[in-house]
Chains A and B, each alone.
Chain A
Amino acid sequence: MAKTYTCPASNMLDGEDINFKRPSQAKEILRRLKKNRGAMIGLFLLICIILVVIFADVIASYEAGVVQIADNKLAPMSSEHPLGCDSYGRDVLSRLVHGARNSLLVAVASSISSCLFGCTLGAIAGYFGGKVDMLIMRALDIFMSIPDLLFTMVVVAALGSSIPVLIIAMTLAYFTNYVRLVRSGVLNLVDQEYVEAARAGGSSSARIIISHIIPNTLGIILVNVTLNVSSLVIYQSTLSFIGLSLPAPAPEWGSMLSSARVDMLRAPLLVLFPALAIVLTAFSVNLLGDGLRDAMDPRLKS
């Protein structure tokens, strides 16, 4: 004989019960992130760099870093030129600070656009499957047979170097990861019952992808976008080091390093400053990105 129970202390299953009354996932992740000292240091440094980027013109004028004044060649640090001048007589501080703009903006723009492009492609491939999937993956395989840097060099060789071209080139170099990621996420979930249920409930394909599949992979996508910014900063400095980035006299850390190389013995600091800039930027983003990853999945630490 079945007995029914009504519980005086708690009601039927509702959303709160399921979580043991813990804060929502996003808040939990944020809390873990805040506790991570490394990530907070990284965030702090990054904010400083972003402030430099925003207030670049206030810190030093653009012209000072671009106009060549022969008299100022390799000038030492002074009140007028806080970090001295390079071998063309250009103000190092200005070049450093405006170079931050070039580096960071291009890196962030490329990271986001490669994410959008790659995720869309991956979602299409995974969701529609069949011939569409095969076509996209085959094309991807062939595309991935060209090493990134090589392809970027060819693109720059063909299209010249300007900011849009750079962003396109770097997007094309970094999007493939996202395709695989999202595609496998979609393939895993497409089979799962709640997608079936959503479809049975009448949701359209796009809606299913957006509201079910993306939130699940959002965490790892976010980590990737963040960490990619740091490798894009390095990638761009590599390009400008070999002379394939923005044409002179645009200030860029990599090309600063390249031209400083010549007078390295006489003025080693000229090499130090851009090198430090690159390393600090990449390092702070890495700290933040790593912290984000640990916050998303703390099990991985132990």
Chain B
Amino acid sequence: MHRYIIKRLLFLIPTVLGVTLIIFIVMSITPGNPGRMILGPNANAAEVEAMNEELGYNDPVVVRWFNYLKDIVTKGSFGQSYSTKLDVFDELWPRFLVTLRLAILVLILSISIGVPLGILSAVKQNSLMDTIPTMIAFFLAAVPSFVVGILLMYIFALKLNWFPSFGLKSAKHYVLPVIAATICELSAYLRFTKSSMLEAIRQDYVRTARAKGVAERTVIWKHALKNALLPVVTSIGMRFGCLLAGMVTTEQLFSIPGVGSLIVESISTKDEPMIIGCAVMVSICFTLLMIGVDVIYAFIDPRIRAKYSKGG
């Protein structure tokens, strides 16, 4: 099993290299002018040119990419922000943690509510316990998370004044943003779990279990459920992208100082090092999470576990 984990972690390296290269290439398609941005509109052309040269901006993309990686590895530096002139990492890291905290909360909540509801919905198909959550989930699939957020903000923050509408200073501040992002993720998990469960119940081995005389409850909870949950674990990894999108919009809506709003700010100020730094950080985190999900899956699916345990 260790072999599998190590194998997956090793995959991190080409991934980081590939990701950073792609980001660099895309950013280089339209040439920027960092010298001008750092020195301001009043500096003369010669100074700007000198600055550009110093930053290595006129070098080819691959060279710049290589130097960037070199800086990360040797100096631990992601460069300096064009707008604040401060170290990118210093600004990036705390905001990244804010987003992470929020995201983890949303993930835990949406899974622990969405998955059981999905199972229930599948088991009690066509009853009220099924039709109501399913219809609500179906409807919510058409509602973006920021619409939910705005609605919540309007009712609970502005009209009723129960919760604050911006910032993250206290626990109360977390309520609305977390609920807004959770509602959308939750409905996705509900639908997916339900369909996975229904698919499992249709399988031949369920019929074999029934033919053995096994009670229907055991058939559902022991035979079908165990199989149904496997794809759900995989789907958690696949939904990280949506989770991130939810974070970005929620942060914008509730003025939360996270990495999502940081990227948006940097794009509007054309702060290249910050954009690249955020993109790289988030991608690495993303990849680590995916690897984590894969490893968890390998542990719980006996087919994969057996494959890697036997070898060592």
Residues of A near any B CB (own CB < 8 A): 139, 141-143, 145-150, 153-160, 230, 234-235, 237-238, 241-244, 257-258, 261, 264-265, 268, 271, 275, 278-283, 286, 290, 300
Contacts and interface: CB of A to CB of B under 8 A. Distances in A.
B142 A282 contact: yes
Given A154-B27, A242-B249, A278-B143, 4 more contacts: A145-B286, A158-B29, A264-B153, A275-B151
A271 B154 contact: yes
B283 interface: yes
A147 B286 contact: yes
B15 A145 contact: yes
Contacts of A268: 154
Contacts of B236: none
Given A146-B283, A238-B245, A242-B249, A153 B267 contact: yes
A258 B146 CA distance: 9
A155 B275 CA distance: 11
Contact of A147 (B28, B253, B282): B282
4 closest residue pairs by CB, A with B: A142-B18, A282-B142, A283-B142, A149-B245
B14 A242 contact: no
Contacts of A242: 248-249, 252, 264
Interface of B: 14-15, 18-19, 22-23, 26-30, 138-139, 141-144, 146-147, 150-151, 153-154, 158-159, 198, 240-241, 244-245, 248-249, 252-253, 263-264, 266-268, 270, 275, 279, 282-283, 286-287, 290
Contacts of B287: 145
15 contacts: A142-B14, A145-B15, A146-B286, A148-B241, A149-B248, A153-B279, A154-B27, A157-B266, A157-B275, A158-B30, A242-B249, A264-B154, A271-B154, A275-B151, A290-B138
A155 B150 contact: no
Most chain B CB atoms below 10 A, which of A145, A149, A238, A280: A145
A153 B279 CA distance: 9
A146 B19 contact: yes
B253 to A, nearest CB: 7
A156 B268 CA distance: 10
A30 to B, nearest CB: 23
Nearest to A230: B142
Contact of A146 (B22, B27, B264): B22
Nearest to B240: A147
A150 B150 contact: no
A268 to B, nearest CB: 6
B249 A143 contact: no
B147 A145 contact: no
Contacts of B270: 157
Contact of A237 (B26, B138, B144, B159): B144
Nearest to B271: A157
Nearest to B138: A286
Contacts of B18: 139, 142-143, 145
B30 A160 contact: yes
Most chain A CB atoms below 10 A, which of B30, B144, B153, B283: B144
B241 A149 contact: yes
Given A145-B290, A157-B27, A244-B264, A278 B147 contact: yes
B263 A153 contact: yes
Given A147-B282, A238-B144, A159 B30 contact: yes
Contacts of B147: 257, 275, 278-279
A216 to B, nearest CB: 20
Given A145-B283, A146-B283, A243-B264, A265 B158 contact: yes
Contacts of B29: 158-159
A299 to B, nearest CB: 8
Contacts of B15: 141-142, 145
Contacts of A157: 27, 266-267, 270, 275
Contacts of B26: 154-155, 158-159
A180 B142 CA distance: 25
B240 A153 contact: no
A142 B19 contact: yes
A290 B134 CA distance: 13
B259 to A, nearest CB: 10
A139 B18 CA distance: 8
A150 B244 contact: yes
Nearest to B264: A242
Nearest to B282: A150
Contacts of A154: 23, 26-27, 275, 279
A283 to B, nearest CB: 4
Most chain B CB atoms below 10 A, which of A143, A154, A230, A235: A154
Contacts of B23: 146, 154
Contacts of A159: 26, 29-30
Nearest to B290: A145
A186 to B, nearest CB: 22
Contacts of B142: 230, 234, 278-283, 286
Contacts of B138: 286, 290
